[in-house]
Amino acid sequence: MVSMRDSDAKDVIDKTAENLKNEMKMPDWARFVKTGVSRERPPEQDDWWYIRSASVLRRIYIDGPVGVSKLSSFYGGSKNRGHKPSHFRKGGGKILRTILQNLQALGYVETLPKGRKITPKGQKLLDNAVRRRKN
Whole-number Å distance between alpha carbons of 106 and 113: 20
- Residue of 18, 133, 3 lying closest to 61 (CA atoms): 3
Over residues 71-117, the pLDDT tens digits come to: 988 988 888 889 999 999 888 889 999 999 999 999 999 999 988 99
- Domain edges within the chain: 9-134
C-alpha triplet 95, 56, 23: angle, nearest 5°: 80
CATH architecture of 9-134: Orthogonal Bundle (1.10)
Calculate what percentage of the chain has a pLDDT beyond 70. 96
CB neighbours of residue 57 within 10 Å: 28
